[in-house]
Structure 1
Amino acid sequence: MSGRGAEHPAPTELEEITSRISDLSKWREIFNFRGLEINSTTHQGLQQLLFRNTTSLFGWEWAAANFSFHPAHSNLAYALQAGKGGTRAILAAVQAHIITYLLFTRDTERTHLERLCRVGRREQGQALATALAETLWAAGGGDRAVVCLVTAPVTATPPEGFRASSFTEKIRLFEFSEKAAAQEFISDHINCFEGEGNHGVILFLFSLLFSRTLERVQEDLGDTAPLLNASSGNVTCTEAVLSLLLTGRASPRGLGGHREPGAGRGEAAGPGQRGPVGFLRWERAPGQRQVRGTQGQRDTRTAGLAVPLQCPPAQVSPALRSPRVPVWLCSLSGRHGVLFGTDCRLLSDWKSERLFQLYFCSGQQERTRTAHLTVDTHSHHWEEAPREGPCSPGQRRPALEMAIRTRWAGATVSWNGTDPFF
């Protein structure tokens, strides 16, 4: 009896091997594997799409960036750790899709913040794979997705960085015609995007471009606009990258309040259609400096992040301000985070918009909890001081509050005891 018990695992392993072999034919049909062999002309074309020159480099911050979660079963278990520099925009956009999945897509008995804090390591991987697959599928127009993986050892990145061409020599493309297959494939290779030293954020950016196709990205951009801005050694995402992440098109004007020409059949949700993730933006007026306040002041100046209360905001598409579920990528004077609510009725039932709760995730390492905000759309305290001009110092508010007011004009925002930090 003991001898038979000791041999029991062998058939299980054999069955698993047999199952994997039988799946090979399915995988051959699902995706098309081809080695990426790019000639020098295509290398330069990719570099031109990214930077509009052949000399700019990805810095070490980009090379080191990956999709790394905060510890499982913690206050920020659902949250990606924010990268440095220009990678934060991509990480925040993926974070928005992760929150959408965890709160509103997967099967759950109810949605609340505490459930996000109970996310385990396996759920983190599932959420990331789903978010990446959804974004790539949208970039592919709803009928394809391309996943870029490194299949050769990657040498250490030089301190000064590397060009796009030097990285593409080491990747391979996996093309899928089914979203579920792409998601399963990403899940099986999730460490390629999470692991240190794998250049996960750059891999994902390249996957977006190849899913959209380089030709269509070029059409989206037009003749002059780059995907990335390189200045003084810093590489940052343009609005075209944000548009690609949120609408599936790399249009420099794709987040505005107008319809893009040529957006039709086979395209992802554009600015005139409500998507799963929204977008809110607030920029300080040119030449405006930040005002540093003192702790304990009454909602007037806060944490060096204050901006005029009623100065005109940059235009964002109404559909992006009102997505299908209450999750928004926020661009706040060049910094990025995710604003979200847990009530799926918030944007479909006007009664829910009188007094409601929102949460803000910045991904910053120093933040150990999700910021909790209470939004009141029927309190008009600003009318108490009508003589003050709309841009006077006494009417300043944090940039996040101003972004919220681009969706709910005139709303008051309480940080519930937290010092405003965005």
Structure 2
Amino acid sequence: LMQSIRNILFGNTFHIFNYEWKKSFFKFREPFSDMSYALETERGGACAIQMVVQAYIIKYLLFNRPMNSDMMTVGEKEQRKALAAALTDILWTAGEEQTATVCLVTSERCFTPHMDYKLDNFTERLQLFTFKKKDDVKSFICEHIQCFKDEGSHGTILFLYSLIFSRTIDRMRADFDCTTTHLLHVSLGNFVCRQALLNLLLTGRATPHVFNGASLNDEQDEALAQPLHGVLTRSHVGYLLWNREQVGSMLKTPKLPIWVCNINGTYSVLFSPNRSLLSDWKMEHLFHLYFYNGQPTQLNTTMLTIDTHSHHWEAENNDIQGDPEKKFPSVEMTIRTKWEGSVIDWNGTVPFF
């Protein structure tokens, strides 16, 4: 079993998580502060997972609580509830809303390692708890929330294992296609999340591509052409990507106005408290989006004003010549992948991303 887990994670059985991953957990900012809803992430491979969880925490705080509660000042108890709700949402969706599995670490070994298996003194002690009701998953995670949010808990890895067991290895192999056989790849000496893992976190399926549906690869020989697997459903949280690959409408237009942004391999969140932003086109003329990049250096949530009714004379001035990155902050270019030609005002904040 542990060998299949390693294979689905790394594509081999000899890699183990590095120090950066092992020390990663779900750490909130100061309770009752302006940023109390926010998780603090460090740059590194686990950051992508933390930022998707951040998006689901925002979903809970904005759209799953009484309307008059203020998201920006949340106490410790509410932080724990929000984290438990976020983790539950993601695992339950991965289990096709029928079941979810939560992994915890025990003091004794639960798996007998294989002869040529490299020990990490952690994976061998996993214990699995499977549930058939979403409320039971949430209560269980609530009771054991310190296993995900305390320093030294390996919280992010535990959650990733829970995700794999909730989806199951067989289902994940069916989600994959000829372009992807595992969830992490090595980049600059660190393990980073592949698109299949991001899609699993966002949509419950580990499909490797960001377009809608399936498409055939450009293989000249028709016998070799195999379908490539994209996104099949709209999820609660969306995804925006600033590069040449076109994100499909399923990810660009989620059920709620919350997006995880991938900007040159770093992750951030954009969100709006206005639930009808995506269902009423009139709302999309002029609106606010809040931006958080997960870094300890960001001391306030940044409010951006998006104006999609840009006037032709502004468009001429905004004509993107040469390298767009030199002219506009990357986060603006990312927003324009959804609202093309929009004018973005940082409301006094110096553009930092």
* TM-score range for the pair, normalised by the shorter chain length: 0.7 to 0.9
Deviation at 1:319, TM superposition (A): 2.0
For 2:19, which of 39, 60, 66 is the aligned residue?
60
State the SS of the aligned residue for 2:335. Answer: helix
Query: CA RMSD, aligned part only?
Result: 2.2
Q: Normalising to structure 1: TM-score of the pair?
A: 0.74
Structure 1 partner of 2:106 = 151
Deviation at 1:218, TM superposition (A): 2.1
The C-alpha deviation readout for 1:304-347, integer Å capped at 9, x for no partner, is xxxxxxxxx42112022111111001111101011001111111
Gaps of 5+ in 1: 1-41, 155-161, 262-269, 284-312
Deviation at 1:391, TM superposition (A): 3.1
Map residues 90-169 of structure 1 onto 2, 5 A cutoff.
90-109=49-68, 115-152=70-107, 166-169=121-124
Structure 2 partner of 1:417 = 348
Count matched residues.
331
The C-alpha deviation readout for 1:96-127, integer Å capped at 9, x for no partner, is 000011001122237xxxx1221000000000
Asked if residue 239 in structure 1 is aligned to residue 171 in structure 2, the reply is no
Structure 1 partner of 2:316 = 384
For 2:337, which of 395, 401, 406 is the aligned residue?
406
CA contact (8 A) 1:332 1:400 kept: yes
State the SS of the aligned residue for 1:152. Answer: coil
For 1:277, which of 237, 248, 254 is the aligned residue?
237
Deviation at 1:362, TM superposition (A): 1.1
How many angstroms apart in 1 are the aligned matches of 2:39 and 2:292?
A: 9
Distance 1:175 1:420, change over 3 A: same
State the one-letter code of the partner of 1:420.
P
Map residues 34-49 of structure 1 onto 2, 5 A cutoff.
42-49=1-8
Deviation at 1:222, TM superposition (A): 3.9
Asked if residue 332 in structure 1 is aligned to residue 263 in structure 2, the reply is yes
The C-alpha deviation readout for 1:196-238, integer Å capped at 9, x for no partner, is 1110000000000000011211222246532001244311111
Q: Normalising to structure 2: TM-score of the pair?
A: 0.88
State the SS of the aligned residue for 2:12. Answer: coil
How many angstroms apart in 1 are the aligned matches of 2:50 and 2:177?
A: 26
How many angstroms apart in 2 are the aligned matches of 1:393 and 1:216?
A: 40
Asked if residue 193 in structure 1 is aligned to residue 148 in structure 2, the reply is yes
Distance 1:166 1:368, change over 3 A: same
State the SS of the aligned residue for 2:128. Answer: strand
For 1:89, which of 30, 43, 48 is the aligned residue?
48
Distance 1:164 1:72, change over 3 A: farther
Structure 1 partner of 2:278 = 347
CA contact (8 A) 1:326 1:347 kept: yes
CA contact (8 A) 2:36 2:73 kept: yes
Deviation at 1:415, TM superposition (A): 0.8
How many angstroms apart in 1 are the aligned matches of 2:163 and 2:6?
A: 15
State the one-letter code of the partner of 2:83.
L
Deviation at 1:389, TM superposition (A): 5.8
CA contact (8 A) 1:149 1:203 kept: yes
State the SS of the aligned residue for 1:421. Answer: coil
